């Protein structure tokens, strides 16, 4: 079975002390996870080393960066490279979150370069895609999200593509409390898997985890994750509360 993943996206929240407390509380809950279940914590850069030492060698829990530079190294003040992440033992990085695309104007091309550089340093990109409300209202969301994948990912050879995690996050559902319906999430994710199948074949399409993100909470996670093409969630707000996120982890398919 493909991996079922609960990924926390803390964004720019929590002090160091709050972050440490939240992480230890969730880890101390010792939720029984199967070999195909994973939990990722997307934490702010300054907390990566602390967080990585908390999960240590656990086989189910991993730490992710929320972004990295599309450049290898050099005079890019304030940027953090994939090589730096690798050098502190980070193996996952969220790429192309809609907040990065919208606020920081990250283009398909820049995101493609970030994916490439992550893979070069053995970091698994959690590649985010998703349409704004205007596109959903027009009914052209399938083509819109397909283009995001094609433009930033489809230059990859199959052996690289198969390392990715995809997260579908409709922008109108992020931080709004308005979750996509289970049918809307399933329909899009089935479409994306079909697009991947066309390009890379059935084995790769069936193996890639596609997460849903956008107002996932303890109360709706089980229903969303129950859909055949929804392999877990990328969770913002609800990942900041230990018990809420623990319930979301428990909602992963077995």
Q: How far is the CB of 40 from ligand PGA (least distance, A)?
A: 11
- The token pair that represents 16 in the structure block: 């160091």
Among 216, 221, 249, 251, binds ligand PGA (CB under 6 A): 216
Closer CB to ligand PGA, 54 or 169, in the complex:
169
DSSP 201: -
Is 169 a catalytic site residue?
yes
**Which residues, other chains included, contact 125 with Cβ-Cβ below 8 Å and sequence gap of 6+?**
92, 93, 94, 95, 114, 115, 118, 119, 164, 165
* Residue with token string 């998703």: 130
Q: Are 152 and 198 in contact (CB under 8 A)?
A: no
Q: Which of 20, 25, 97, 138 is catalytic?
A: 97
Closer CB to ligand PGA, 121 or 136, in the complex:
136
Helix pair angle (242-250, 16-28), 10° resolution: 40
Give the whole-angstrom CA distance, residue 100 versus residue 111.
10
Q: How far is the CB of 238 from ligand PGA (least distance, A)?
A: 6
The tally of CA atoms less than 13 A away on the side-chain side of residue 131 is: 21
Q: How far is the CB of 94 from ligand PGA (least distance, A)?
A: 8
Q: What's the gap between Cα 239 and its chain centre?
A: 13
DSSP 65: E
Does 112 engage in binding with ligand PGA (CB under 6 A)?
no
Q: Which stretch binds ligand PGA (CB under 6 A): 51-59, 109-117, 146-154, 230-238?
A: 230-238
- Per-residue mark of binding to ligand PGA, 6-45 (x: CB under 6 A): ---x------------------------------------
Q: Are 38 and 60 in contact (CB under 8 A)?
A: yes
Closer CB to ligand PGA, 4 or 9, in the complex:
9
DSSP 238: G
Provide φ and ψ at 101, rounded to 5°. Answer: -65, -45
Is 97 a catalytic site residue?
yes
Q: Residue 32, by phi and psi: left (phi above 0), alpha (psi -120 to 50) or beta?
A: beta
Does 214 engage in binding with ligand PGA (CB under 6 A)?
yes
Q: How far is the CB of 136 from ligand PGA (least distance, A)?
A: 15
Q: How far is the CB of 80 from ligand PGA (least distance, A)?
A: 19
Which residue's Cβ lies closest to ligand PGA?
A: 236
- Per-residue mark of binding to ligand PGA, 155-194 (x: CB under 6 A): --------------x----xx-------------------
Contacting positions for ligand PGA (CB under 6 A) = 9, 169, 174-175, 213-216, 234-238
Catalytic residue numbers, as ranges: 97, 169
């Amino acid at each position: 079975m493909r991996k079922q993943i609960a990924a926390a996206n803390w964004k720019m929240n929590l002090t160091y002390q709050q972050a440490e407390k939240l992480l230890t509380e969730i880890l101390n809950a010792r939720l029984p996870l199967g070999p195909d279940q994973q939990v990722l914590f997307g934490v702010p850069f300054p907390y990566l080393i602390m967080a990585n030492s908390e999960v240590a060698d656990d086989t189910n829990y991993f730490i992710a960066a929320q972004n990295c530079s599309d450049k290898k190294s050099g005079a890019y003040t304030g940027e953090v490279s994939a090589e730096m992440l690798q050098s502190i033992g980070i193996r996952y990085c969220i790429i192309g979150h809609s907040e990065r695309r919208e606020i920081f104007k990250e283009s398909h091309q820049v995101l493609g370069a970030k994916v490439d550089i992550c893979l070069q340093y053995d970091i698994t990109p959690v590649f985010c895609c998703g349409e704004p409300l205007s596109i959903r209202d027009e009914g052209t969301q399938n083509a819109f999200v397909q283009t995001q994948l094609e433009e930033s990912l489809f230059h990859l050879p199959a052996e690289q593509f198969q390392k990715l995690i995809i997260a579908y996050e409709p922008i109108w559902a992020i931080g709004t409390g308005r979750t996509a319906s289970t049918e809307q999430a399933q329909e899009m994710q089935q479409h994306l898997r079909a697009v991947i199948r066309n390009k890379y074949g059935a084995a790769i399409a069936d193996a890639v985890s596609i997460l849903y993100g956008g107002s996932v909470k303890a109360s709706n996670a089980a229903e969303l994750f129950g859909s055949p093409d929804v392999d877990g969630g990328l969770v913002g707000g609800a990942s900041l509360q230990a018990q809420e996120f623990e319930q979301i982890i428990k909602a992963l398919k077995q």
